[in-house]
Amino acid sequence: MDTAEFDRFIVEYPIFEYRVIDPKEIRVNERVRMICKNECPRYGSTWACPPAVGGLAECEAKLREYREAVFFSTVSEVRDILDFEENLATRAAHEEITDKVGAFLKEHGYDIYILSTESCDICTHCTYPEGKPCRFPERMHPCVESFGIMVSGITEQYGMEYDLGGNTILWFSMILLR
Ligand code: SF4
């Protein structure tokens, strides 16, 4: 990937940090999926979550299909970090930026696959698990954790910030490319 061109592109967005990483170096961990299952109220509620995204081996194989991955964070400031609703409301801006980065990479000839944040909320009522396919497979992005990826592990491995403290939130996405 031409990082100089990418740097010129992202300067317009509140992308806090990014790294271009080798998907072969991304470790997947069943423990992350267990956290989804045991702690996330959206587990099993959309095609963007486990178990709909497939088994861990399937997710790992998907990661390995790609040559590179752009892993990046955006930063948002909120009035009160303890206000869950206010925090969650900042997610939409991150998703929009993720789609713009994805569009930029596509325009530059890459075949991409996006992993982003949280479960999917595009439709009021998800078709999962009713046996019908996802209505918008091109717009729906599984969350990074659904693939068994520990975000804090990646930030540590690549020397990135995971938490800035105060009333700031970091959101993370990973765009696989080939
Ligand atoms: S796009 Fe709609 S059908 Fe697809 S995962 Fe999201 S909410 Fe479900």
Provide the 3-class DSSP secondary structure of residue 92. helix
pLDDT at res. 97: 95
Range of the domain at 32: 3-177
Which residue's CA is the closest to the ligand 1 atom numbered 1? 136
137-151 per-position pLDDT tens digit: 999 999 999 999 999
- Sheet of strand 168-177: strand arrangement: 15-21, 68-77, 168-177, 112-115
Nearest residue to 5 (alpha-carbon basis) of 114, 113, 112, 104 = 104
Which tens digit of pLDDT belongs to each residue from 31-62?
Answer: 999 999 999 989 999 999 999 999 999 999 99
Determine the average pLDDT of the residues in 164-178: 95
Average model confidence (pLDDT) across the chain = 93
Query: What Rg do the C-alpha atoms of the chain give, in angstroms?
Result: 16
CA of 95 relative to ligand 1 center, distance in Å: 15
Task: Look at residue 3 in the predicted model and tell me its pLDDT.
Answer: 86
- Residue 167 CA to ligand 1 center (angstroms) comes to 31
Of 125, 127, 132, 139, the residue with max ligand 1 atoms within 8 A of its CB, to mutate for a pocket test, comes to 127
Residue pair 18/70 in contact (Cβ under 8 Å)? The answer is yes
Is 171:117 a contact under the CB 8 Å cutoff?
A: yes
- Tokens 């999962």 identify what position? 128
Residue 73 near residue 100 (C-beta atoms within 8 A): no
The structural domain count of the chain equals: 1
